[in-house]
Structure 1
Amino acid sequence: MRINNIKNPKKIMYEIKGANIPSRFFFAPINTGLSENGILKEEFFDFYKERSHNSIGINYVGNVAIDPEYVTNSNTAYFTDETNQWEKLVKSISNCGSVPGIQIACRNSSLIPIRKMINNNVEDYLNTVRKDLINIPKEGIQDIINKFIDTSIKASDLGFNVVQIHAAHGYFLSQLISKSLNLREDEYNASDLIFLKEIINGIRDKKPNLIIDLRISFLEGITNEMQEKKDKEVLIKKLIDLDIDIISFSNGIYDINKQLIYPLEQWGHACFIKNIIGYAKKYPNILWNYAGNIWGLEELELEKLPNNLSFSLGRSLIADPLFVEKSINNKTHLINKCEYKNKCHYYSLNLSHIGCPIYELNKNSI
């Protein structure tokens, strides 16, 4: 990794695997719900095109399932034979100035995703997941591993420069890396990370220049915070030995506490950033990425942060697609700020797709 423009922390750029990433600010992977039977709706293309600029380094198309069998909900995107729609999307993102990225995900659970923000029956969830993981045969895990590899290779063939492996938020890989959830004692235990190694090596074998990102939940909300931090320290020491380029920090498990994923406003700006700074300083050859409650670039105090620390923005860019551009060019007074209307996590509101009252109100001025 090479870092450019280090004298201006707002305009840092990265060179990774031959790709030029024009900004340290990324559009976070979002499950938009704007897909039906794997076919992308027209609003899907508009959503990502509007949030592609040279002020957005990587524009992640979020939560693309490895197979229709492993979708999060009925409106989750996945690859079909209609590959031209994905080529069109990639070209649109790239032409607008961002590097096209894609988040590859797998939900494999006997549980229906809960809609409420906080699960009042956590023990039932934990017991069910532990049993699911114990009972899934090795062949089933190997099939999922192969699908991660094949989907990542296909994404690269379609033009995506970055693939983010989703191992956060209680998705299948998130469960496998969790010592609180994965009680298996075979090679697919939570300590050896054989499944991640197989996925990464399988992708690298075919696509040596593909940028690989791994997203984890630093805090899961299962045990106490001190124990979870200790567990993640052990995990991260193993992750840095894998052939990955970016490690992205998120938090939470959807079926336990969504507030860790969508932090409350009163928790403060960039409320979890302290958990990642030390790792970015210790491991300068990896690009680290932080997400969670970023509503102002000035508040980040970028000059005090490591240059290999990047940022994924969700709600701020949903409310105003030009949030970063306006911030960098000292036009913060023109930003249409997120007001935590919460329609961005539509599933919790029994809605079929993403929405934002702030964006809808101001879209003609953006």
Structure 2
Amino acid sequence: MSDIVTSSDRRTFFLGVNTGYVTADLPDDRFVEFYESRASPQLHCAIVGNVVVPGGFGSNAATPTLTDNVIWEQVAKAIAAQGSVPGIQLATAWEGYEGSRKFVGLAGDQVINTARALVHTMGRGGIGDILDAFDSAAEMARNHGYGHVQVHAAHGYFLSLLVDARIYAEAEHVLDRLAAMATRLAADGCESSIRISLKTGDTEFDADGREEFQDRIAALPFDFFDLSSGFYNIDKRLIYPSLSHIRSDRLAESLSVAARHPAKAFILSGRAAHVAPDALPLNVHIGLCRDLIANPNFLTDPAHGCCGKNKCHYFSRGAEHLTCALWEREPMHLVRREASGDRA
């Protein structure tokens, strides 16, 4: 495999992942080491994943919460010291949320109907409190030194319900609030992005209005649009596409969105490292996750990435934190390879 990046205009991102490396809802030493070892000058931005906004709710018991604690500044400095922009992904679920441990979960219409009932019950006041929390978290992240802020509006978490008019009738109000946040971040010299699901996994729901939803999101003033897919409690195979036909469908849909919006910048994920760079338009950037989990030096050693053992899906397996089958042969405390690519 050739180098991942072939154009100086194409950027590579380490996309948000929930590692489970937390103690008392805060990052611990394992968390810092995980991101520090994967940041490098070859990686534009390392986005610390699935961080709960103040007053929000985690997707599981091992999800970190953003606070004023100095550990968040230490994470940002560790990433920046290795040559990458420190990024942070802001998210929340809701009280009582439970993620499915099965890859194919509940019936899609059941999940969608429950989502509609939830946002109706919350009311505009409760939803306004959540949006205020995202605004506060973005400011807090900037104060901690993060140069990229991503809002997580994918996978069936709370914000993904609010940005979709097919679920929340007043979605335009939410989109206006997010647009204002992106504008403020840009004025402060900070990159921004939004992660969305191209589809939920419920066939009937996805058949009606999917492109209109995608196009409305693409009209927002974020710097990047991170294109994921799937709702966690409907079909996780869309989020973590190991099957070739799911990967090809996701690639085709991602490229279709990018083609409709040539002036906007998109992040392609779903084993994006295995897509030939010359097949991608210049407004599509590379998002990596599993390959960099498996090999912190993947950008200089792309022949050795994820081998599909699925131990990184720790929540689905009933484990407490992320592991990788490759770490059974190598300690996690990897020494960064020199430019020659030799192992330490």
Same fold (TM over 0.5): yes
Deviates more, 1:104-113 or 1:201-210: 201-210
Residue 10, structure 1, aligned to residue 28, structure 2: no
Name whichever of 255-264 and 31-40 sits farther off: 31-40
Q: Tell me the equivalent position of 1:101.
A: 87
Correspondence for 1:316: 291
**Which of 218, 223, 238 is the aligned partner of 2:203?**
223
| 1:177, distance to aligned residue in structure 2 (A) | 2.6
Distance 2:218 2:99 in 1: 31
Deviations 1:236-275 (A, max 9, x none): 3323332211111000011111111111244376651111
Q: Report what 2:129 is aligned to.
A: 143
1:147, distance to aligned residue in structure 2 (A): 0.5
Once the two structures are overlaid, the 10-residue window that deviates more, 44-53 or 352-361, is 352-361
- Between the aligned partners of 1:124 and 1:232, the Cα distance in structure 2 is 18
Q: Which residue of 2 aligns with 1:55?
A: 42
The answer as to 2:154 corresponding to 1:175 is no
Residue number in structure 2 paired with 1:195: 174
Tell me if structure 2 keeps the 8 A contact 1:248–1:290. yes
Determine the C-alpha separation between the residues in 2 that align with 1:214 and 1:244: 7
- Verify: 1:294 aligned to 2:272, yes or no: yes
RMSD, aligned α-carbons: 2.3
Q: Displacement of 1:90 after TM fit?
A: 0.9
- CA 1:126–1:282 in structure 2 vs 1: closer, same or farther (change >3 Å)? closer
Whether 1:357 aligns to 2:325 is yes
| Paired residues, number | 331
Secondary structure of the 2:41 match is coil
Contact 1:268 1:293 survives alignment (8 Å): no
The one-letter code of the counterpart of 1:345 is H
Q: Partner letter of residue 301 of structure 1?
A: A
Shift of 1:106: 1.2
CA distance in 2, matches of 1:267, 1:278: 16
| Letter aligned with residue 321 of structure 1 | P
**C-alpha deviation, 1:121, in angstroms:** 4.1
Correspondence list, 1:236-251, <5 A: 236-251=214-229
Amino acid at match of 2:291: S
* Contact 2:13–2:43 under 8 Å retained in 1: yes
Q: Which amino acid is 1:130 matched to?
A: R
- Paired residues of 1:27 and 1:314 also in contact (CA < 8 A): yes
| Distance verdict in 2 for CA 1:98–1:229, change over 3 Å | farther
- Kindly indicate whether residue 68 of structure 2 is the aligned counterpart of residue 81 of structure 1: yes
- Structure 2 residue ranges without an equivalent (≥5): 335-342
Residue 64 (structure 1) aligns with: 51
Shift of 1:216: 0.5
**Retained in 2: the 8 A contact 1:265–1:340?**
no
Q: For 2:195, what is the secondary structure of its paired residue?
A: strand
Who is 1:162 aligned against?
148
C-alpha contact 2:150 2:193 (8 A) present in aligned 1: yes
